[in-house]
Amino acid sequence: MARKKQARELSMRKTREILRLGLNCGLGYRAISRSCSVSVSTVGKYLGQAKEAKLRYEQIESMDDSQLCKLLKKEILAPKAESRPQPDWPYIHQELKKKGVTLTLLWQEHKEIYPHGYQSTQFCEHYYRWKKKLKVSLRQTHKAGEKMFVDYAGQTVPVHDRGSGKVSQVQIFVAVLGASNYTYAEAGWDQSLPRWIGSHIHAFEYFQGVPGMVVSDNLLSGVSRSCRYEPDINPTYNDMATYYGTAIIPARVQKPRDKAKVETGVQVVGRWILARLRKRTFFSLGELNQAIGEFLKELNEKPFQKLPGSRLSVFKEIEQKALLALPVHPYSFAEWKKAKVNIDYHVELCGHYYSVPYALVQELVEIRYNAATVEILHKGKRVASHQRDNRKGTHTTVREHMPQSHRRYLEWTPSRIINWAGSTGKSTARIVETIINLRQHPEQGYRSCLGILRLGKKYSPKRLEAACTRALAIKAYSYKSIRSILEKGLDKEPLTPEKEYPLIEHTNIRGSDYFNLKEAKLC
């Protein structure tokens, strides 16, 4: 049942993402299908239901999952296929990158100037012949502001530590805009999720805008589960895309043309920038990024070989104005985790426990956290927010989350747990009672007590009682201490009283009286 419930909640999350990309970002069905890892018919179904219910995205944001489910019930017809504009010659090739420009429109303009020029069929045929002479990476046509391609270069750059002499091989992140080939690159210590997200933020700031889609490789930082047909986007990566109003579309496995732009961009960065830096020694990441930035400026201003203009000129002419506006503040990095609310209405994160409303006991929730805050969401709605606390084994409890009286669905009480422990033995009951009494709130000790009682299933109640007897003797009132006693088999050894050693009399042993007498003489 828990797995089915989790699957339903995950599907609602994808449903919300489908509606966001369709109603708020205006993406087509196929783009949404690839971004959300669902079929095109599913995209059409949910968007059609939303349109039939006359829902705006602002309304959907304010609804919880149950309200949204009630409105998305009716079956709809399959979406109509979108028409695909086709490109043409150097000027035509560049014009087709602008939004709304089609090959038919360009042919009509050509006929107005040259009434005896090519007819439509010949116009297309001659363009295709010309386009075959271009490099493979240049043959694809991308609309201005539509896509940004991202990946890491295979080549690394050494950075030396002045103090220790250690050499670190740093990674090179590359981002390329589809229409203009405008390129961004930066160095980072590794390919971890924080670095991956940070590089995207820096790329958006460098481009002074956000593309409609980000096409990424099936990198572990960006894609949780690599699959040719249904890759799962990392929750943090998806959260960043939602914040900037863009969509993540992973490239298909073993389909290099899906990311041909960035593949070429990586080659160009390797030859134009990294190769020129190979004889230089860098002692900091900032120093390396400054050098990359200088060569990056030259690269973007360098004229194209077979097309008019440069990356920078085409970017300013057609692509810059087509990008989405940057938000006022950059995205704050946060990670996600799923958790089940324990009977003490707390969830665990990195060894610390945070409270949620007690009505959510045994419910599945999502935790969004960064260095400063912890947010807990249930069915897409935030139910609790706490300051981050890295102390392990302690609790952060909001008094309003605690129950005012015992309810039907909250049957756990200190007396019930102590009585349950008593069925194992008197020592077990005393340990449980002591742990509960030592906590500021009794509920904060429930988790430790339940852990101790579960040890009886693994090691037998008899051994647990013996371990608790030894723990009481040495005043070790914790789950870890009792577990350690059982793991090491100390519960099977007899308890021996502490030995009392007789006082030793010797001329060199002066005792406390000697020092008191010495102090009196000094005074």
Output the CA–CA distances (angstroms, integers) from residue 148 to 84, 92, 255, in the order listed.
20, 22, 17
141 and 84 in contact (C-beta within 8 Å)? Answer: no
Query: Of the ranges 39-53, 216-230, 381-395, which is most confident?
Result: 381-395
33-70 burial, b at 16+ Cβ within 10 Å, e below that, comes to: bbbbbbebebbbbbbbbbeeeebeeeebeebebeebee
Amino acid, res. 16: R
Q: What is the rounded average pLDDT for all residues in the chain?
A: 78
Q: For 358-403, what is each residue's pLDDT tens digit?
A: 889 889 999 999 888 999 999 888 999 999 998 888 888 887 887 7
Nearest CA to 246 out of 130, 345, 326, 354 is that of 326
Confidence of residue 8 (pLDDT cuts 50, 70, 90): very low
Residue 252 has a pLDDT of 62
> What is the DSSP secondary-structure string of 210-277?
B-SEEEE---TTTEEE--SS-PEEPHHHHHHHHHHT-EEEEPPTT-GGGGHHHHHHHHHHIIIIIGGG
Residue 10 has a pLDDT of 47
Residue 203 has a pLDDT of 93
Q: Report how far residue 228's alpha carbon sits from residue 217's, in angstroms, rounded to the nearest whole number.
A: 11
Q: For 67-77, what is each residue's pLDDT tens digit?
A: 777 777 543 33
* pLDDT at position 522 over 70: no
Give the tokens for residue 148.
């940004």
Output the CA–CA distances (angstroms, integers) from residue 325 to 205, 208, 211, in the order listed.
10, 8, 9
Confidence of residue 13 (pLDDT cuts 50, 70, 90): confident
Mean pLDDT of 152-177: 89
* pLDDT at position 410 over 50: no
CA dihedral 231, 235, 237, 240 (to 10 degrees): 140
Lowest-confidence pick of 26-30, 108-112, 301-305:
108-112
Residue 258 has a pLDDT of 53
Q: Report how far residue 441's alpha carbon sits from residue 436's, in angstroms, rounded to the nearest whole number.
A: 8
Q: Report how far residue 503's alpha carbon sits from residue 509's, in angstroms, rounded to the nearest whole number.
A: 10
Confidence of residue 131 (pLDDT cuts 50, 70, 90): low
Confidence of residue 84 (pLDDT cuts 50, 70, 90): very low
CATH of domain 147-322: 3.30.420.10
Q: Report how far residue 347's alpha carbon sits from residue 337's, in angstroms, rounded to the nearest whole number.
A: 11
* pLDDT at position 83 over 80: no
470 and 490 in contact (C-beta within 8 Å)? Answer: yes
Taking the mean position of all CA atoms in its chain, how far away is CA 67?
Answer: 26
List the domain boundaries for the chain.
2-71, 90-133, 147-322, 335-401, 414-492
Output the CA–CA distances (angstroms, integers) from residue 263 to 151, 259, 395, in the order listed.
8, 6, 48
Mean pLDDT of 287-310: 87
